[in-house]
Amino acid sequence: MARAEATITPLPRAGLAVATAPANPAVVDGLMVTWSDKRMIRIKNTDAAPKTVTLVIPGAIDGQEIPDRDYIIPASTGDVLIPPLPAVYRHPDGKVWINFSAITGVSVAVYELPA
């Protein structure tokens, strides 16, 4: 199975109900989304165990790999919003890669800010 492309939800100017469930279930091989500085990522965890979500940062500086960014999503009620990401998260294919320590109960929304 390959990394899956996440669906993007445009944020309406009228707002979006926070109770709206994230559209993308976590998958074993991870998700990807085309990078934009107008996109935010929401991770929801309904499982009884906390999860680690990793945003993979490509590249190196002076031969040293840039460390990936981990987010701990709390158990049961975890609902974390990650603000727009700087371009350092953009892979050569133009995507941001999202990995999961486990996928049970984890879903993802990618919101696009209005113009």
How many structural domains compose the chain? 1
The arithmetic mean of pLDDT across residues 4-26, rounded, is 90
Contact residues for 33 (Cβ-Cβ < 8 A; gap 6+): 5, 6, 8, 39, 41, 95, 96, 98, 110
pLDDT, tens digit (0-9, with 9 covering 90-100), for 26-82: 999 999 999 999 999 999 999 999 999 999 999 999 999 999 999 999 999 889 999
Q: Which domain holds residue 80?
A: 4-112
**CATH code of 86's domain:** 2.60.290
> In this model, does residue 1 exceed pLDDT 70?
no
pTM equals: 0.92
Q: Interior CA angle at 55 toward 48 and 96, to 5°?
A: 125
The average confidence (pLDDT) of the chain is: 94
